[in-house]
Structure 1
Amino acid sequence: MSLHIVPHGQTTVHIKRGLQAYGSADKINLLTSEKFRSVGNELAEELTEFGYTVEINLVDAFDLRDVVDTVVSVARENPDQEIYVNITGGTNLMAGAATASAFFIGATPYYVLEPQTGEESVDDLVMKLPSPTQPLTFEIEGLQLDVLQTLGRWDEEGRKGVILREIGEELGESSQKISYHINQLQEKGLVESNIEGRTKHVYVTDVGRLYLQWTN
């Protein structure tokens, strides 16, 4: 069973090409803006006639948080589905949000190219992006979450590359305990570190910022 999450605007041909390439698709969730609601309704009717189960999710095409939250909600409602995200259509913001969302939920993002010669096969036109190695569907809590949130707050303030002792002093914990949780966060891809001399400097990664943004 597979689910395709697809943002779109006026143009929808990329949707049909993507579904042709992934013949095992069962369910489709369209991300439709108010401006193109009629396009989404017509497309849903057409795809339903071909045997797909189709749902329409209205989103604000210029609100990144709205798009990402919608994708994450759809994924949580379909925990047993293999999820693909077509990042081709809609506004540039929708495409970017769809890409970030695919990483967040551990889905497979793909992009559908425009034909250049008319002789390309569907498989030639559909470009599968590398699947994320660590989806952000896990939850962290306790001191580990405190460490990440502290690093995230300092990162927003422009304070980067902090050392373990500083984190320990802020949270009232030993450097050894902080080091353990930093290693755990690093395995999840939420932080990274480098060593200068005998000192380890810790940084929040882009993935860590994304995790904090959508879980706080």
Structure 2
Amino acid sequence: MSLHITPHGRATEHIHRGLRAFSSVESVCLLTSDAFLETGDELTADLDRFGYDVNQRVINAFDLRDVVDAVVDITKENPDRDIYINITGGTNLVAGGATSSAFFVGATPYYVLEPQTGDESIDDLVLKLPTPRQPLTFEIDGLQLDVLKTIGRWDEQGRTGVIYREIGDELGEAAQKISYHVNRLTEQGLLETQTEGRSKRVYLTDMGRLYLSWTA
């Protein structure tokens, strides 16, 4: 069964329309800002009548990090569920935060279009967005985190394509040990490697930059 995380403002029709496109929805978590608490309460009661298990999480709609943290926390609390995120409602900032957080948790974000002719099917109106092959691991720590942070710092300075020995020298570790952790981070999509001549060079990916920006 799936859990749908749904930011909203005053408009709520996109929520009903989006839920109708999925057959296995069990729970809905509304992301409600202070300005729309009354709307959130009404929506909770409405969805409850349709048989959904509904919870509300109050967010700061003008704090991107608060939106991302809310989605991450909800996902951690529901480790065995398929997570979907309706990115249609709320402010542009909330929609951006909801989309970004989907990359962290491996959720499926979707957008609900407004009907134009009235003849569109629900499937035509609900657009699923592509997501990473696997969610990011939030429990990166120890030497693995040191490796990622070191490469991230160098990336900010314009130093890219480093080799294992450079990382090892910086952290006081053997290149073989660095290689192991680089491989794990590469599997997560945070780093990528390219073979150039006899050397394998390490680069930070966009997903790696995103991870570091939210965990700094």
* Equivalent residues of 2:137, 2:188 under 8 A apart: no
Shifted more, 134-143 versus 167-176: the winner is 134-143
Match of 1:177 in 2: 177
Shifted more, 170-179 versus 117-126: the winner is 170-179
% same residue: 67
Match of 1:207 in 2: 207
What's the offset of the Cα at 1:161? 2.6
Match of 1:100 in 2: 100
Counterparts of 1:110-149 in structure 2, within 5 Å, are 110-137=110-137, 139-149=139-149
Shifted more, 166-175 versus 151-160: the winner is 151-160
Give CA deviations for 1:164-198 in whole Å, capped at 9, x if unaligned.
Answer: 22211101122232223222211211111233333
Residue type at the aligned position of 2:45 = E
Residue type at the aligned position of 1:173 = E
What's the offset of the Cα at 1:20? 0.5
Distance 1:214 1:44 in 2: 30
Match of 1:14 in 2: 14
Distance 1:127 1:41 in 2: 27
Give CA deviations for 1:140-168 in whole Å, capped at 9, x if unaligned.
Answer: 33322211111122223333332322211
Match of 2:66 in 1: 66
SS at match of 1:145: helix
Aligned length: 216
Match of 1:168 in 2: 168
Shifted more, 13-22 versus 143-152: the winner is 143-152
Residue type at the aligned position of 1:171 = L
Match of 2:195 in 1: 195
Structure 2 unaligned segments of length 5 or more: list them: none
Structure 1 unaligned segments of length 5 or more: list them: none
* Equivalent residues of 1:99, 1:109 under 8 A apart: yes
Residue type at the aligned position of 2:43 = L
Distance 1:105 1:65 in 2: 15
Q: Would the alpha carbon gap of residues 99 and 157 (structure 1) be closer, same or farther in structure 2, given more than 3 Å must change?
A: same
* Equivalent residues of 2:165, 2:175 under 8 A apart: yes
Distance 2:173 2:49 in 1: 61
Counterparts of 1:30-49 in structure 2, within 5 Å, are 30-49=30-49
Match of 2:55 in 1: 55
Residue type at the aligned position of 2:20 = Q
Distance 2:187 2:168 in 1: 20
Distance 2:79 2:177 in 1: 34
Distance 1:7 1:138 in 2: 23
CA RMSD of aligned residues (A): 1.7
Give CA deviations for 1:71-95 in whole Å, capped at 9, x if unaligned.
Answer: 1111111122221111111111111
* Equivalent residues of 1:106, 1:137 under 8 A apart: no
* Equivalent residues of 1:106, 1:136 under 8 A apart: yes
